[in-house]
Structure 1
């Protein structure tokens, strides 16, 4: 696993939809798709409740000790390959900062926040 990299996925996100009773919400669908596609990945996909990015759902957070943390939004299960590619590049970077051109487009255009490591 790449330097203990964790990909948090908001499982409560409705992505602006009003699901029917018993219908799986978009955030849970994204978490399930990421977990299934990441069987041999170098990041840990960790489903979590609300990331408080509700107006930007579905959202994820990418973090690891000693590195910058990123929050991305406006994602769906169609973005799974790009999310995992971006997470892998993050996991392999020395400090969590992936060069701009090496980031998937969704990571360049759909970033909500960047948070410095506590150790800075």
Structure 2
């Protein structure tokens, strides 16, 4: 099953950005794509996750699983985000045991959204 990691590429997290410089969210997106992406993870840039006060933000989702939105992230967090996504890939319902989550996923969760349909797992 494919898991999607949406990355808000327009997040700036109140960061002053000069014209032509990449925004924080775009830098995070690039860092994630440059990292060791687990098999089965699809990384997709999106224009906005509506978490502007908590940017940069990402969302993890898959059919039949709980979805999560995480914020207050930077490109330095890319390795931990990818580790968290790998743990999510291994969780049939999307609920990763607390201690198996990277610290940023424990402390920087903005929302947990139930699956649209029950899992067949």
Regarding TM over 0.5, the answer is yes
Does 1:9 pair with 2:7? yes
Instruction: Identify which of 93, 97, 100 aligns with 2:98.
Output: 100
Give TM-score scaled by structure 1 length: 0.94
**Mapping of 1:1-120 within 5 angstroms?**
3-39=1-37, 41-120=39-118
Contact 1:38 1:45 (8 Å CA) reproduced: no
* CA RMSD across the alignment: 1.1
Aligned to 1:46, the other structure's residue is in SS state strand
5+ residue gaps in structure 2? none
Structure showing the higher helix proportion among its residues = 1
State the aligned residue count.
Answer: 118
CA distance 1:119–1:112, shift in 2 (3 Å)? same
Deviation, 1:16, is 1.1
Contact 1:6 1:45 (8 Å CA) reproduced: yes
